[in-house]
Structure 1
């Protein structure tokens, strides 16, 4: 789950990380009021959307009067901001008005959960203000990485090493360590998966301030931090993923046209790979999980059909805890209740497979059945493209 910049800054401030003075506004009038309340001679108005690249997309403005603040907010609130990370646009329902900083240097500081090494990784650079992916590609030597040992956490000497590595002066090292370790505590205590301060600025007076911040959280740990879940902004989420999450399904939307309903994350990844090998593009990752009832399969169909780009659906089930007959009943129910208007290919294997195939064969519905994953992928790609299936291996119904 992602949150907005101003929410991330409120969290960081609770953990001792300095942030600029600011306020969130839902209207031009409220934005102008915040600039008056903050004081000073210049302010920054930022669109609050879950996307990077706001500045180059016109979502960040430096203003030097209350009138400019109101105009900048009026140009953003209620619009959709199109960025390189969100080509479809994100709704701007609020802006953040904060004091403009007298910036001397821009640094980068981030914390990530590295699933490959099962460690929290600290990433820092003396070159802030740009995407870390671009920096790592163009100048990998400029990026400092440090793994955190789970048993001991992020220690003071590690924070000092990072501060020295990114070129901070002697008098700035102690404040930098407080920033780094405060950010780490926020990441650890709230079950975050990503925390990014970019840029972490050094002002002309030598202060370190988090000028921008992003945080993402592990959805599975929300029960431990319900106050974090209250920060969720549903308007920023992919409507397909929002619909699936509301029905307890593990779903990730993609850009293809072949909907996938699969049990098990590993099988789902293998199925998407096989679809690509067959010349197609998956429209989603969807894991219905173990013990899937017919009702859960029906919910999965409805979630997949939320995507208007879906031209065919592949149901691939290798049943252990699941039962193929339950899945088959859900597939048949989907044709009655979910308005399935695209070809459906079903490949069932495992527990009660014979009963499941009999249900599909006896349904009288235009369900294309396959015996192997390769056959299923070939058939669903052909079905999505509208090609005839005669050249593909034919499924032989199981006799009663």
Structure 2
């Protein structure tokens, strides 16, 4: 589950992680009031207005049809009000949103931390995520912050550092000092970085994050270390331990079909192809999509009905796939292990009859537990469904169906 920047920062503050302070608002008038409050509290003439969407690259992105950036600086209440008015309600297009963009419903009015001071400021980068190849958490950090880390890794890989931490333990003091040293910090900034990264790692573990990225991680002119931006992803499988965090979910930022699928405990990801897929098991789903591509088609979705699928969940999956106008054929590939093939077959029949006029070809491959019963159910149903035994055979049938539809 992704969080907005302002939500992530509020969580970090509970773990004594220093952040750039800000106030989330949803109207231009509230943005102007937020500026006045920040000016009184922190004394700076400037403030930053940041669009709150679940996508990176907001500073480079633009509101569709305008030259307004997703992140902009203002120096008085009127400017802040104008900027917020230009952003709120607009569609922000960034490299991560694609051309469709995302609607901005909130902005964060944040304090200016770049004002001049006795020492130079510095933008750094730091993120924490699981390294599945080593079975450990890894802290990735760099002296090059404020830019795409992929670009740094491509052009200057020697500037990317990594520190691994065993998931059963905490970040050790010597590791935190090593990170501060590699980032070129000294004196008070060094001490503050040790404290910052230690508390940040504790937040990562305690909140069951799957990603915690600070870019830029900022050294202020008075040697404080703060998170200017924060991208936080929470592990969906751990949300049962955090009902308070689950309440932070913003379904307006998610694909509507994926939201609907989650109501039925379906693992669904929308793709850009023309072949709808319904499979049980993530590995089999990936193999099915590979086979579709090898046969000349393009998967329209990833849909794993899981091991507890019944007629209701199969029908729900069917309806979700058919909502995509790009779908030219549907491939159902079920291996009956935990889930019974006859249950899936009954779900297909019920969905077909309930939905009515289904005009796309349906190819079904059912193997495993009660596969024979499933085949008889489908054969006796009178439905226009093509059966296959081998996965390669099913993929070829799909390819032919798509070619005919085209």
Match of 2:81 in 1: 70
Match of 1:4 in 2: 4
SS at match of 1:49: coil
Assess, with a 3 A threshold, how the Cα gap between structure 1 residues 132 and 14 changes in structure 2: closer, same or farther.
Answer: same
Match of 1:15 in 2: 15
Q: Distance in 2 between matches of 1:377 and 1:137?
A: 37
Match of 1:396 in 2: none
Match of 2:59 in 1: 55
Contact persistence 1:16–1:178 (CA under 8 A) = no
Output the aligned Cα RMSD: 1.4
The correspondence of residues 92-107 of structure 1 with structure 2, limited to 5 A, is 92-102=104-114, 104-107=121-124
**2:387 is the alignment partner of 1:369:** yes
**2:341 is the alignment partner of 1:324:** yes
Match of 1:123 in 2: 140
CA deviation after TM superposition for structure 1 residue 385, in Å: 2.8
Contact persistence 1:240–1:307 (CA under 8 A) = no
Assess, with a 3 A threshold, how the Cα gap between structure 1 residues 291 and 7 changes in structure 2: closer, same or farther.
Answer: closer
**2:250 is the alignment partner of 1:238:** no
- TM-score for both structures, normalised by structure 1: 0.94
The correspondence of residues 199-348 of structure 1 with structure 2, limited to 5 A, is 199-339=216-356, 340-348=358-366
Q: Distance in 1 between matches of 2:274 and 2:309?
A: 24
CA deviation after TM superposition for structure 1 residue 170, in Å: 3.3
Contact persistence 1:301–1:338 (CA under 8 A) = no
**2:170 is the alignment partner of 1:158:** no
Q: Distance in 2 between matches of 1:299 and 1:100?
A: 49
Q: Distance in 1 between matches of 2:58 and 2:405?
A: 42
Assess, with a 3 A threshold, how the Cα gap between structure 1 residues 293 and 201 changes in structure 2: closer, same or farther.
Answer: same
Match of 1:32 in 2: 32
SS at match of 1:179: helix
CA deviation after TM superposition for structure 1 residue 387, in Å: 6.1
After superposition, the C-alpha distances for 1:74-105 in whole angstroms (9 at most, x for unaligned) are 11111121111111211110000011112611
Contact persistence 1:314–1:380 (CA under 8 A) = yes
Match of 1:395 in 2: none
CA deviation after TM superposition for structure 1 residue 157, in Å: 0.9
**2:357 is the alignment partner of 1:353:** no
Q: Distance in 2 between matches of 1:227 and 1:341?
A: 44
Match of 1:176 in 2: 193
**5+ residue gaps in structure 1?**
389-400
After superposition, the C-alpha distances for 1:107-150 in whole angstroms (9 at most, x for unaligned) are 00100122232211100000001122222122211111111112
Give the number of aligned pairs: 388
CA deviation after TM superposition for structure 1 residue 151, in Å: 2.7
After superposition, the C-alpha distances for 1:45-66 in whole angstroms (9 at most, x for unaligned) are 0000000010111100011111
Contact persistence 1:112–1:194 (CA under 8 A) = yes
Q: Distance in 2 between matches of 1:29 and 1:214?
A: 27
SS at match of 2:175: helix
Contact persistence 2:295–2:395 (CA under 8 A) = yes
**5+ residue gaps in structure 2?**
62-68, 116-120
Q: Distance in 1 between matches of 2:355 and 2:235?
A: 31
